[in-house]
Amino acid sequence: MSITLVAAISKNLCIGKDNDLPWDIPEDMEHMRAATLGKVLIMGRKTWESIPEHRRPLPKRTNVVITRNKNYELPKGAERFDSIDEAVEAHKDEEIVGFGGQRIFEEMIKIADELDLTLVDQEIEECHAFFPAIDPAIWRESDRDDRDGFSFVKYTRK
């Protein structure tokens, strides 16, 4: 099993505003697609709902939605779990991606092997969802690709 968190985060660790992404960066969407294809995506119910209905479940990926609502209805191709632990256990032999939002990232950063991040060169005001602090005692930068206005950066557990 491997666990990677895939996220785009601003300078002030913002990941979401009004249940949407605070920016529109096509290269980041393409990066996210490439980083998640063929993998198991574990996401919170609000992140699931933030994906336009006609685009979900995200194709060629196992879409796992975490919600405490046992009656939450999902279309064919998406799975519901009560907790991250149960979802991870069910997919323990696969490549798992923590896909957000805040609660999912907060819990899964404790068990992740790698962070595959897009660091967006912006400060977002009135932010509603945040990525947890990246502790330099735990994480080391292992790869960096600087672009115009953002960077693709990978962190590996020390």
**Chain positions contacting ligand NAP, by CB under 6 A:** 7-8, 15-16, 19-21, 43-47, 50, 66-69, 83-84, 99-104, 107, 129
Torsion (CA) 56, 62, 63, 67 in degrees, nearest 10: 160
CB of 84 to ligand NAP, least distance (A): 5
Q: Please say which residue, 73 or 158, places its beta carbon nearer to ligand NAP.
A: 73
Question: Distances from the Cα of 109 to the Cαs of 8, 11, 46, 157, in angstroms?
Answer: 14, 18, 19, 10
Chain residue whose CB lies nearest ligand NAP: 101
**8 strand-pairing partners:** 118
CB of 141 to ligand NAP, least distance (A): 18
Q: Please say which residue, 21 or 58, places its beta carbon nearer to ligand NAP.
A: 21
